[in-house]
Amino acid sequence: MRVIALGPGEADGVPALALEAVAAARGTVFAPPLDAAVALMLGRHTQVLPDDLRAVPADAVVAAPDAIAHAVAAAHPDAHTLPARDVLRARAIGARVAELAVVASRLRAECPWDRAQTLASIVPHTVEEAFEVAEAVAAGDPAHQADEIGDLLFQSVFLAALLEEDGHADLATVARGQADKLISRHPHVYGDQTASDADAVVDIWEQRKRAERPDESIFHELPPGLPALAYAAKTQKRASSAGFTFPDVAAAFDKWHEEVGERRVAPSQHAVGDVIFAAVAVAQAAGVDPEIAVRAAAVRFRARVEGAAVMAAQAGEDFESLGPDAQLEWYRHVRGR
């Protein structure tokens, strides 16, 4: 069985595709449903149309191959699509992103708030949306994650629209440049280089990046506006790309213990900073993002303190009026549950 998916604007190609498919098998399935004009075109080019000609929704072909399996291919296990499903998927994604770009253009033209924006004024919103994606990922709710990722995607689309207005790259150029960059920096996927693990991939990435920009220092592209933990992590990654790093987690932990031991007598801003920076190195060696880890720890702490207050109230005590030792005892009860 052949499953043919024809998108909008492809009517000119219908006869040739139809002839190929009908000649190959009588059980041809077209998606989206055939309209009268297309059916007439097929009739002119084929003496006999398949008896079991059926229509399959294009979205089912593109987004849910299982729908095809249940609706059509149950009786014909060899069913496939023409074009191939990966091509159809790429077309569907492109169409949806294009729709988003159209929305961005209309908002820019007709919405007073959007008309007033500049690249600089949008960036804080982009940063905020990135943090909201991180929170959604930590929460583990796929629907929430999809929503927040959509918000972040729109930020990129809108920024590209502003860039285009200034006479620079448009969304297509931005996307093409990103694809080219990723292909170039993944020679273990698109070339003949090998990478045995994730650390090797990071090393290849940094080496390629430095080779592309030989005039830049080890600590190139360190945005000063990054959150402190992210800035520390990126700094350490840059040093690691030059070979200056801890060999394993144990060595990083040893350095952290050393910093804690040296600084606990007279803790200052400088001393505390060294301890935290050493903790970031432990996270890096363990393959943990320190920003996400600390954020998750803060969320857990908040939930436990709130739980301790609830437990105290249930026992007839006002948590905020208790002394530190009593509060800590309630906190331990919550943590130990």
Q: Is the pLDDT of residue 16 over 80?
A: no
Res 40: pLDDT: 47
For residue 207, is it within any domain? no
For residue 196, is it within any domain? no
Worst-scoring range by mean pLDDT, 30-39, 216-225, 230-239, 267-276?
30-39
Count of alpha carbons within 13 angstroms of residue 327, beta-carbon side: 11
| Mean pLDDT (the chain, rounded) | 78
As given in the structure block, the two tokens for residue 103 are: 């929305």
Res 12: pLDDT: 41
**One domain for residues 223 and 284:** yes
DSSP symbols for 38-83: HHHHHHHH-SS--TT-EE--HHHHHH-HHHHIIIIITS-TT-EEES
Q: In the listed set 27, 52, 83, which residue is the last one of a domain according to the structure?
A: 83
**One domain for residues 122 and 78:** no
**One domain for residues 243 and 256:** yes
**One domain for residues 272 and 309:** no
How far apart are the C-alpha atoms of 202 and 190, rounded to whole Å? Answer: 16
**One domain for residues 73 and 94:** no
For residue 296, is it within any domain? yes
For residue 275, what is the domain's CATH number?
1.10.287.1080
As given in the structure block, the two tokens for residue 242 are: 């030059």
As given in the structure block, the two tokens for residue 232 are: 């520390």
As given in the structure block, the two tokens for residue 136 are: 């959604």
**One domain for residues 306 and 223:** no
For residue 55, is it within any domain? yes
For residue 147, is it within any domain? yes
**One domain for residues 316 and 299:** yes
Res 255: pLDDT: 92
**One domain for residues 94 and 180:** yes
- Distance (Å) of CA 193 to CA 186, 187, 209, 212, 321: 9, 5, 16, 17, 64
- Distance (Å) of CA 63 to CA 66, 148, 220: 9, 21, 41
Torsion angle of C-alpha atoms 226, 175, 203, 200, degrees rounded to 10: 120
**One domain for residues 13 and 57:** yes
Q: How many domains would you assign to the chain?
A: 4
**One domain for residues 100 and 172:** yes
Res 151: pLDDT: 97
For residue 210, is it within any domain? no
Domain that holds residue 94: 88-184
Sheet holding 2-5, edge to edge: 54-55, 28-31, 2-5, 80-82
How far apart are the C-alpha atoms of 279 and 301, rounded to whole Å? Answer: 18
Q: In the listed set 83, 118, 148, which residue is the last one of a domain according to the structure?
A: 83
The rounded percent of the chain whose pLDDT value lies above 70 is 72
**One domain for residues 174 and 237:** no
Res 7: pLDDT: 43
- In this prediction the pTM is 0.63
275: confidence class by pLDDT, cuts 50, 70, 90: very high
For residue 200, is it within any domain? no
Res 87: pLDDT: 63
How far apart are the C-alpha atoms of 219 and 104, rounded to whole Å? Answer: 35
Res 85: pLDDT: 55
**One domain for residues 22 and 53:** yes
Length of the chain: 337
How far apart are the C-alpha atoms of 106 and 113, rounded to whole Å? Answer: 12
Which tens digit of pLDDT belongs to each residue from 66-124? 443 344 444 444 444 445 556 656 777 888 899 999 999 999 999 999 999 999 999 99
6: confidence class by pLDDT, cuts 50, 70, 90: very low
For residue 11, is it within any domain? yes
Which tens digit of pLDDT belongs to each residue from 183-238? 999 999 999 999 988 888 988 887 888 788 777 777 877 888 788 998 999 999 88
